[in-house]
């Protein structure tokens, strides 16, 4: 008899990938994915420690699940609650103590052990315990990738593929080195094999993931190591893989090979997320970013020389401890000079265990809010300018899902813009017979003419199908 697992994913794209792989690990043991927690035998909360009050949000969800778990127990059904991910790694023992309803806590590097954890939890329940006590937040010598199933169910034209984990940078605001561990890169062959399996299932776009993805240094199978640029070159050889993206990058690791990959490899998309966090040298030093604003500008200059149409996005932290008005003005100046197509910006909030969290020179909340509003207004202005610059252009769009209107599908441009494509208006005769005639374009690359640009998305009309 099959069982059901519900996985709720918080935070980053790597957690999305990890959640998918947890489902893959459990499938041979009879677990099918459920659309809701209410009818699940196992609920996994895959947590993220980056956002503010991340742990409190998890505890709130556990409280809701606890009530449901008790109702299930009254009807004689065992329901297990597991907390995975970075909050689990950082606060595992405390979580077990504070929330007795939790049966299992597992870190990002140990989810391949889920079947063994479940067996232990079931044995404890058989022994009369209402909640099991299974904690596994090790950093094992053998990586989880050595134990994950090779087969994976996948539905859709775009997929994530983790190639690197961990971080050796130790930015003073960040918990990743403590929750994901040291930098580790997967062997090139393993990545290429996984990519081929995804393409065989219909994937045409892969986003390579890593906390420090451009620090990739995987075994090349020839006695050496491959950089990210070399890996992209290998992946480009896969027939049917039309688009390659990667995230998240660090300015210090943008080497010539990767820059030239943007210039020379057509499948390497002309979009790069390159977080800077601040435009102030003083704050960059306090953050331990190990680069200056001028060094960042030089990287941007080299990228744009190699790929003039490259679109950039970034991350910004506003109100880092000790940030002055002058420091913030340096950030605004950097934004004006670079002009990002997209960006993500947040108020600084302390993360327990990080050096910046104990800095006494915290910026008042109202000051952070005012600065964030000013920064976001400027970023939004530039994003709209970039979107409007695409008006009248033809570009390739990967269609991924249905829109709200008849004959409308949603997709992504090469620059990662959301594009609403009207298939009812087109230059060429199309075969639109049969039931749901527009669905045949789902998962396809099409040439689109951009006819409308807003702050967050574009609208386009079909020119022709490409594949």
**Per-residue pLDDT tens digits of the chain, which is 467 residues long:** 689 999 999 878 888 998 999 999 999 999 999 988 888 999 999 988 766 667 788 888 999 999 888 888 888 788 899 999 888 888 888 888 898 899 999 988 888 889 888 988 888 877 666 666 787 777 665 677 776 777 776 778 999 999 999 999 999 999 888 888 889 999 999 999 999 999 999 999 999 999 999 999 999 999 999 999 999 999 999 999 999 999 999 999 999 999 999 999 999 999 999 999 999 999 999 999 999 999 999 999 999 999 999 999 999 999 999 999 999 999 999 999 999 999 999 999 988 788 999 998 999 999 999 999 999 999 999 999 999 999 999 999 999 998 888 889 999 999 999 999 988 876 565 666 666 667 788 899 999 999 999 999 999 999 888 76
What domains can be seen in the chain, in order of their start residue?
3-136 (3.40.50.12160), 394-465 (2.40.50.140)
Query: What pLDDT does residue 348 have?
Result: 95
Query: What pLDDT does residue 128 have?
Result: 62
- The CA distance from 21 to 291, in Å, is 35
Query: What pLDDT does residue 129 have?
Result: 63
Cis preceding-peptide flag for 179 (omega within 30 of 0): no
Query: What pLDDT does residue 424 have?
Result: 80
Query: What pLDDT does residue 310 have?
Result: 98
Query: What pLDDT does residue 249 have?
Result: 96
CB distance 134 to 182 below 8 Å: no
Query: What pLDDT does residue 59 have?
Result: 86
Query: What pLDDT does residue 467 have?
Result: 67
């Amino acid at each position: 008899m099959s069982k059901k697992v519900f996985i709720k994913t918080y935070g980053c794209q790597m957690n999305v990938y990890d959640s998918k792989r947890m489902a893959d690990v459990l499938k041979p043991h009879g677990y099918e994915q459920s659309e809701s927690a209410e009818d699940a035998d196992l609920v996994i909360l895959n947590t993220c420690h980056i956002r503010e009050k991340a742990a409190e949000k998890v505890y709130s969800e556990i409280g809701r699940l606890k009530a449901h778990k008790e109702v299930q127990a009254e009807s004689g059904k065992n329901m297990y609650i597991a907390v995975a991910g970075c909050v689990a790694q950082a606060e595992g023992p405390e979580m077990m103590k504070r929330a007795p309803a939790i049966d299992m806590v597992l870190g990002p590097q140990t989810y391949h052990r889920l079947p063994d954890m479940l067996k232990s939890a079931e044995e404890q329940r058989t022994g009369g315990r209402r909640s099991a006590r299974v904690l596994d937040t090790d950093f094992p010598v053998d990586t989880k990738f050595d134990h994950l199933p090779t087969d994976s169910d996948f539905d859709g034209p775009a997929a994530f593929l983790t190639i690197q984990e961990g971080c050796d940078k130790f930015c003073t605001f960040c918990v990743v080195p403590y929750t994901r561990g040291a930098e580790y890169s997967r062997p090139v062959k393993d990545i290429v094999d996984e990519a081929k399996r995804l393409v065989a299932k219909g994937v045409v776009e892969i986003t390579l993931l890593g906390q420090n993805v451009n620090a990739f240094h995987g075994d090349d199978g020839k006695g050496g190591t491959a950089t990210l640029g070399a890996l992209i070159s290998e992946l480009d050889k896969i027939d049917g893989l039309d688009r390659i993206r990667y995230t998240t990058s660090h300015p210090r690791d943008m080497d010539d090979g990767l820059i030239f990959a943007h210039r020379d490899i057509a499948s390497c998309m002309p979009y790069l997320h390159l977080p800077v966090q601040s435009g102030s040298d003083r704050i960059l030093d306090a953050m331990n970013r190990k680069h200056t604003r001028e060094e960042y500008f030089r990287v941007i200059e080299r990228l744009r020389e190699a790929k003039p149409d490259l679109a950039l996005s970034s991350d910004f932290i506003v109100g880092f401890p000790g940030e002055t008005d002058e420091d913030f003005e340096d950030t605004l100046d950097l934004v004006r000079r670079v002009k990002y197509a997209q960006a993500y910006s947040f108020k600084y909030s302390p993360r327990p265990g990080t050096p910046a969290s104990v800095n006494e020179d915290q910026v008042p909340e109202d000051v952070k809010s005012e600065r964030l509003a000013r920064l976001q207004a400027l970023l939004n202005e530039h994003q709209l300018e970039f979107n409007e610059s695409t008006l009248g252009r033809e570009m390739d769009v990967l269609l991924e899902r249905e829109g709200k209107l008849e004959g409308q599908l949603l997709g992504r441009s090469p620059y990662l813009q959301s594009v609403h494509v009207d298939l009812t208006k087109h230059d060429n005769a199309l075969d639109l017979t049969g039931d749901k005639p527009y669905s045949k374009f789902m998962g396809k690359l099409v040439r689109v003419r951009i006819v409308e640009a807003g702050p967050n998305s574009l609208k386009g009309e079909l020119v022709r199908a490409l594949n």
